[in-house]
Structure 1
């Protein structure tokens, strides 16, 4: 496929994730009111989606190594579209949680496939740059998601916001059906045999380069997820923004994120991947620390949160393409499995954080802006530690040896 089409498909496949979260976030207060549901159950519509997303990748990865990327993408996008319709028609919070679980599992096929496609087609350094181009496209979808979700929720109701996901899924499915060409150079007929799967998982799990980059991607996503899980309640309920106004804040966040992906592509040829990540981690730590310190000082305002978060999300635009491509790079013969395991680690991190936040916010143990600001501070410290230690020691990509039988 021409590189332009590769970028289009990466953008679409990676874009299903922010659409399923960002477009839906402005609707969370409305869903809470519509079903008269406790906060923990409403948070579960987000955290359960991400847990299913993570677990499903462990299945989709080996399946794609066995049968190819194309059939997995077709199956996943079909299920994603149907689950989006079901979510929009849900009659209770429990039904909505079930449909979101299906949607998350289907989403795993798309995002896992995108990471594997990059490894199929590109060497590590170029793979990081191509991933950043795909994540720039993801950022564009995220830019649209917040304002669109806010506008639809405010003028047509929360069901319309969820129905928009079905439209996107159908468009992505049509384009993959018509234009996508298989990228897997050679199928592994043993990929689904239990002994072979255990051997592959073990080889990946023992590789220090995998853990360095996978943990960078997971901690960076943990910080973003903390913002996603708490920001609608902070900005709409606590600080009094309209749903449309909140959507515009999400637009500004996504714009800064896109700038981060462009910065990533500019810095990698000059500094190399590891030094680029180390520099970005300084922005992460500064942003997280400022958010926490300003809140503790009593500055509970929109820009006391968003200003520091712009530094955080700018660096996220560097950490994600480098982390996601770096975790898969040592495994050209098992890119699907490596992509799946890296994605699983990211989503378990998000699920654990979402569960904890839901419990704390439901009981009133954490109120106001503190779940958001303290969370950013916590993740900022962890991201910097990973970027300045593990990535610097183990981040140089060397292909893992293929064991002899």
Structure 2
């Protein structure tokens, strides 16, 4: 079978499907979290570890995935990662204890990280430094279909079958992705790099001492950690505290994803007209203010789903506006090690998110306050970093 043209729209859709491994593996699973406490006869923090373990695996393997893909190519690393992801999904579905589920979720995170890491790297390979922001914006908007559908499917599966069906369906998704990559995905790596520990460490040192990369990565990490604070706490707040039925959780989540999709489409359509630093700073400020409104409504005792969901719509719109621009700024100077740069971005993003998720899990009190305050802190830190970088550039 003939490979796809790298610049065709179908290749863009395929790269978006790789990026969707992340939200599918978390968002489809969200409606199941409260019920797992009773199913495994365990505690809420123990169930939260099934999310945090996934993120830890997702974060750590980035540091290996990127250099491997810069040396051996995008396609073989994708095949290996997607194959392992499929096996891990089966392991999750068959788990008989929360400890076993935590281990399989860690393996699932390790394998799932190849999708977004190499999807972003391939966008940089194909579109170059100037068009990458536009491509990443379109990918983010396409990828937003996953968190729209995932919680709805997860909620319906919880109602009519059981939480295990969520992982069986993810295993099918992995199998379809593996087959598609094997048959039609083109290789986009042009110039392989050496796979030597000294070279890898030198590359990471270059990245971590590059001002634009470091500030953009900090902004991505802190804003995403705020979004994940919501992801890790939302099902407990909306389902357990506010009484939203699991099968309706996805409809509320759909409004939130609509904000992200709108922000991503705005960046995709306007990328060539926007000043990246202004856009990043404005988006981060919008995120911080939106989370502050959510925290204020919680403090005033307005415990209604709209008091959580509407501020979150604006927060996710801010993430959709900011992250494609920040990723483009971070990756632009590194054509010769795009996968390594993308991997380090992912490690910082997911590592920070794991900490935020664990923090929210420990401090959940039923209200939206712990996740709202974590989100507000993430947005404001990002805005301050972007402001400092812009001052030094002027």
Per the TM superposition, whether the score is higher than 0.5 is yes
SS across alignment from 2:144: helix
SS across alignment from 1:37: coil
Of 3, 9, 14, which aligns to 1:9? 14
Equivalent residue runs for 1:343-362 within 5 Å: 343-361=346-364
Please state if 1:336 is matched with 2:339.
yes
**Aligned-residue offset at 1:49:** 0.4
CA contact 2:225–2:356 (8 Å) conserved in 1: yes
Indicate the residue corresponding to 1:401 in structure 2. none
**Aligned-residue offset at 1:319:** 1.6
**Aligned-residue offset at 1:128:** 0.8
**Aligned-residue offset at 1:206:** 0.9
1:148-180 deviation digits (Å, cap 9, x = unpaired): 111111111111112111111111111111111
Of 21, 24, 31, which aligns to 1:26? 31
**Aligned-residue offset at 1:276:** 2.1
1-structure distance, mates of 2:278, 2:61: 33
CA contact 1:219–1:349 (8 Å) conserved in 2: yes
Equivalent residue runs for 1:217-256 within 5 Å: 217-256=220-259
2-structure distance, mates of 1:221, 1:283: 14
2-structure distance, mates of 1:21, 1:289: 25
2-structure distance, mates of 1:204, 1:377: 27
Please state if 1:43 is matched with 2:42.
no
2-structure distance, mates of 1:386, 1:307: 26
1-structure distance, mates of 2:284, 2:146: 25
Equivalent residue runs for 1:200-211 within 5 Å: 200-211=203-214
Please state if 1:385 is matched with 2:384.
yes
**Aligned-residue offset at 1:43:** 0.6
Number of equivalenced pairs: 389
2-structure distance, mates of 1:65, 1:94: 35
CA contact 1:238–1:369 (8 Å) conserved in 2: no
**Aligned-residue offset at 1:280:** 2.1
1-structure distance, mates of 2:392, 2:269: 23
Indicate the residue corresponding to 1:292 in structure 2. 295
TM-score, L = length of structure 2: 0.95
CA contact 2:118–2:339 (8 Å) conserved in 1: yes
Indicate the residue corresponding to 1:276 in structure 2. 279
Of 146, 154, 158, which aligns to 2:159? 154
Equivalent residue runs for 1:38-117 within 5 Å: 38-117=43-122
CA contact 1:289–1:380 (8 Å) conserved in 2: no
Unmatched segments (≥5 aa) in structure 2: 1-5
**Aligned-residue offset at 1:394:** 6.5
Indicate the residue corresponding to 1:375 in structure 2. 374
1-structure distance, mates of 2:200, 2:268: 34
Unmatched segments (≥5 aa) in structure 1: 397-405
TM-score, L = length of structure 1: 0.92
1:292-340 deviation digits (Å, cap 9, x = unpaired): 1121122121111111111111111112212223222211111111111
CA contact 1:209–1:395 (8 Å) conserved in 2: no
Indicate the residue corresponding to 2:175 in structure 1. 170
CA contact 1:213–1:395 (8 Å) conserved in 2: no
2-structure distance, mates of 1:41, 1:181: 42
4+ runs deviating over 4 angstroms: 393-396
Call closer, same or farther: CA 1:169–1:114 in 2, change over 3 Å: same
**Aligned-residue offset at 1:94:** 0.8
**Aligned-residue offset at 1:285:** 2.6
Indicate the residue corresponding to 1:263 in structure 2. 266
1:123-142 deviation digits (Å, cap 9, x = unpaired): 22310110111111210111
**Aligned-residue offset at 1:393:** 4.5
2-structure distance, mates of 1:46, 1:68: 30
**Aligned-residue offset at 1:18:** 0.2
CA contact 1:26–1:246 (8 Å) conserved in 2: yes
CA contact 1:285–1:377 (8 Å) conserved in 2: yes
SS across alignment from 1:261: helix
Call closer, same or farther: CA 1:323–1:395 in 2, change over 3 Å: farther
Moved more, 322-331 or 103-112: 322-331
**Aligned-residue offset at 1:275:** 2.2
Call closer, same or farther: CA 1:172–1:393 in 2, change over 3 Å: farther
Indicate the residue corresponding to 2:3 in structure 1. none
CA contact 1:117–1:183 (8 Å) conserved in 2: yes
